Chains A and B, each alone.
Chain A
Amino acid sequence: MGRVEGVALKRLALVWLPLIVAASMGGMLISPSGRADLAATRSGPSGAVLYQEDCAACHGADGRGTSRGPSLAGVGEAAVDFELTTGRMPKRDVATKQPPYGGILSAAEIAALDRYVTAMVAYGGPAIPTVDPSAGDLSKGAELFDEYCAACHGWGGGGGILYDRAVPKVTEATPTQVAEAMQVGPAQMPVFSPQVFSPSEVDAIAAYIRSVQHPVDRGGDPISHLGPVAEGAVVWLIGMVLLLFAIRWIGERG
C-alpha cells in the first residue's frame, strides 16, 4: 500500500469513520418534540372551552376516547389533576420527552378542567388526595421508598430505566402529585393502592421525596448523584489527568 493510499485510509479512519459513528448515534437521539405554545390559544378558565381546545381532539368530545387517546371514563379527578399539573397533558405529539413537572396550563385553568372532566366522564375514580408531608415519618418514608420506588425511580428519586422508556425523576414532584401518582398509576407506573398504603404512609413517602430535594451532601460536590459512574469519570478525567500532567513536569530535566 503506497503512502498516498495510506494517508487516505488514515483520514478515513480518523475523520470520516468517527463522524459516521457520531452521526448515526446522533440520529438515534432525534425525536421530534413540538409542544406548541398552548397558552396562546387559551381563552379564559372555562373548563368546557379548555377541554374543546386542548383535549377533545384526542380524548373525544365526550371524553370516551378516540383512536388517538384513551377514554377518561372513571379515571378519577386525581388522574386528571396529575396529568395536568405535571405537564404531561395537554400534548400535541405522541413522542414527547420526559415531562418538565410544571403544568402547561395555569392553576386556575387546571382546576377548571379538573371539575369539568370529572363531572363529565371521569367520576368514579380516585379523588384528589390530601397529603401532609410535614406529618409524615421521614424515615418510614425512606424505607417505603427504597422498597417500592427506588427500583424504578432511583434511591434518590433521580430516575431510572424501564425496558422501553426512561423513568422520570421524582425530585420535582409536589406532595399532591406523589399521592396522585400512587393512586392512579399513570402510564407504566403500577398502582400503589390506598388499601396497602395508608394515608400516613403516603404522607411519609411524600415527606421523603420532599427531603431528597435537599439531600445531605456532606462529602462535597455530589456529581449528579450518579454514583460510581460519575466517580469513575472523575478519577480518570480529573485525578489521573492531573497526575499525568504532574509526572510529565517532574520528568523534565532541570
Chain B
Amino acid sequence: MTGRRISRANAALDERLGSQKFLKKALDHIFPDNWSFMLGEIAAYCFLILVITGVWLAFFFDPSDSMVVYHGPYAPLHEQTMNLAYQSTVNLSLEVRAGLLIRQIHHWTADLFVTAIVCHLARIFFTGAFRKPRELNWVVGVTLLLLAIFNGFTGYSLPGDLMSGLGLRIAYSIALSIPWAGNWLAYLFFGGQFPSSELTHRIFILHVFVAPLLIFGLLGIHLALIWRQKHTQFPGEGRSERKLVGSHLYPTYAFRSIALLLIVAGVVSLLGGLVQINPIWEYGPYHPYLASSFAQPDWYTGWLEGSLRLMPPWRLHLFGWTVSEVFWPAVVLPLGTFLLLWIYPFVERWWTGDHLYHNLLDRPRDRPGRTALGVAGLTFYFVLTVAGAQDVLGFYLDIQQPPVTFALRGLLIGLPLLAGAVTWKICRDLAGTPGVKVSPPVESADKVMPPPTRYLPDRVAWQDPETGIPAAGSSAWARKAATVGTAVTLGALAASWARRGRRAG
C-alpha cells in the first residue's frame, strides 16, 4: 500500500496537471530486457556525466589565446610563454584540488561516449533496428555520432598544448584544401590565419554551447521516438510484431537504468583517478614551430589520421586550380562515410524491396549480406585507425615506415573484403541453426488499407515458414570478395616484407 504522503502528492499534481493518466501509462511502459539494448543508455549517461563535469571545468578554464608567462609550481614550465587556455588548464590540473580528477573523468567519459555510440550503432545495424518505422531515428543517431566526434575534437583542442595545437594546424590545412571556398572557410572557422587570436574562444563556444545544445536536442528526439514507436525486440516466446514483452519502466527498468548510470559513473571515476589521460603539462604549450613524434589524436579521429598517412601523394592541378592531396582523405572520406551511414536504411530498403514494418529484430546470422557488409565496413575503419598509429607500430615492431605504410594500404583494401567474405560464410554455416519461427511482418493490422499482393519481397532472405530456417542466398559475391581480399592482403604483406630492407646500424 502506498503511503499517505504519496497519495497526497499525487492528488496535488493531478489537480493541477491532470497527470494521472499520463503517469500511469508512462510508468507502465514496457522495455524489453536484452543486454545489448543498454549500449545506447551507456552513451546517454556518458553525455550526462560530460555535462556535469564540463560545467565544473568551465568555471576554471579560460578560453583565451592571450599569451602569458607561467609562474606556477610546475618547474619545467617556469617562465615559459603560453596562452591563457593552456595556463588555466595546467593550473586546474596541478593546483586546484580535485581539478585533475574532474578533468580526467571528463576526458575518459568523452572517449567512452564515442565508444558506446559506435557499439550501439553496430548493434542497431546488425539487428536491423533501423528499418521502418525507425529510419528517422537512425538518421538522428548518426548525426549524434558526428556531433559526438566533433565535440570530442573541439574539447581536446581547447587546452592549447603541443599535441592539440598540431591537430588544429592539420584541421586548418584540411579546411584550406576545400575547393573554391577553402581559404575563406578556413578563415571563417578559425577566425583568421592560423593560429588566430580568436581560435580558442571560438572552439570553446562550439564545444560548450553549440554542439551540446544540438546533442541535447537530438538526444531528446531520439528518446522521444523510442518512446512513441516503442523499442524493438528479438523474436522469442510470446513475442511478435504486435506484442512487446519486457519489464515495466517502474520499478524494474528504472532501477536497472539508474544502476547502469552509477556503473558508468563508477567506471569513469576509477579511470579518472587511477589512469592518467592527456597530461598536458608534460607535453608543453603549443607554438607554431614545435612538433613531436608519436602525435596521435584521440582514438575516434584516428581513422582520419590514418587516411591522411596512407593516402598516396596525389595532387590535382586543374586549369590553374589546385586540389590538395589532403582533400580526398580528410574531406571526401568523412563526408562520404557519414553520407553512406545516413542513407543506409533507404538504400537497404531499395535493395531488398522490403517496405514492411519491422518491430522484431534480426539475428545477424540471418542476414548474411548485411552482416558481411557491416563487418567489412568496421574492418575498413579499424585498419584506418591502426594506420593512424603507423609510427608507433613501426617503433614497437621494429619495422621501417615504408613497409608498414605499404602493408597497411594493402590491408585497407584486402582485409575488409576478406573479413566480409569470411563473415558471410560463417553466417551461412550458422544459418543451419533454426531460429524462432516468426510470423511474417505486417503492413498494418486490421485497418482499412488494402493488403499487399505479396508479403515477402523476393530478395529478402526470409525464413522458411515451416522450419524457421532462413532461405539460402547466392555465394558468388562472397567467393569473389574472398579471393580478391586474400590476394591483396597477402600480396601487400609479402611485398612489404620484401621491401623492408636492413636498418642502418
Contacts and interface: CB of A to CB of B under 8 A. Distances in A.
B108 A239 contact: yes
A219 B400 contact: no
A243 B263 contact: yes
B292 A250 contact: no
A31 B496 CA distance: 15
A6 B428 contact: yes
Interface string A199-223: 0000000001001000111111111
A108 interface: no
Residue among A31, A141, A163, A219 having the largest count of chain B Cβ atoms under 10 Å: A219
Contacts of B392: 161, 226, 229
A220 B276 contact: yes
B209 interface: no
Interface string A223-243: 101111101101110111011
B341 interface: no
A206 B361 CA distance: 63
Contacts of B449: none
Contacts, number: 246
A199 B469 CA distance: 80
B283 interface: yes
Given A7-B429, A216-B281, A243-B267, A160 B76 contact: no
A250 B418 CA distance: 35
Interface in B238-284: 256, 259-260, 263-264, 267-268, 271, 273-279, 281-284
Contacts of B38: 247, 250-251
B403 A13 contact: no
B161 to A, nearest CB: 9
Interface string B45-88: 00000000000000000000000000000111111100000000
Nearest to B301: A228
A219 B505 contact: no
Given A27-B497, A95-B505, A138-B78, A228 B268 contact: no
Interface in A159-208: 159-167, 187-188, 208
Interface string A118-154: 0000000000000000000011011100110011111
B368 interface: no
A1 B293 CA distance: 51
Contacts of A252: 35
A226 B395 CA distance: 12
Per DSSP, chain A at the interface is helix
A31 to B, nearest CB: 7
Interface residues of A, number: 81
Contacts of A253: 33
Given A139-B79, A151-B292, A154-B292, A21 B39 contact: no
Nearest to A248: B35
Given A139-B79, A142-B76, A235-B108, A161 B398 contact: no
B292 A226 contact: no
B366 interface: no
A107 B271 CA distance: 45
Contacts of A221: 274-276
Interface string B101-112: 000100010011
A187 B385 CA distance: 32
Contacts of B395: 159-161, 166
A39 interface: no
A146 B290 contact: yes
B396 to A, nearest CB: 9
Nearest to A143: B80
Contact of B398 (A10, A97, A217, A234): A97
A24 B112 CA distance: 34
25 contacts: A10-B429, A14-B422, A96-B505, A142-B80, A146-B162, A159-B293, A160-B294, A161-B294, A164-B402, A165-B504, A211-B76, A216-B74, A220-B273, A222-B276, A227-B278, A228-B163, A228-B278, A228-B302, A235-B299, A239-B268, A243-B42, A247-B39, A247-B260, A250-B35, A251-B37
Interface of A: 1, 3, 6-7, 9-10, 13-14, 17, 20-21, 24-25, 27-29, 31, 91, 94-97, 138-139, 141-143, 146-147, 150-156, 158-167, 187-188, 208, 211, 215-223, 225-229, 231-232, 234-236, 238-240, 242-243, 246-248, 250-253
Closest 10 CB pairs of A and B: A160-B293, A232-B299, A251-B35, A219-B276, A139-B78, A161-B391, A142-B76, A13-B422, A247-B38, A150-B292
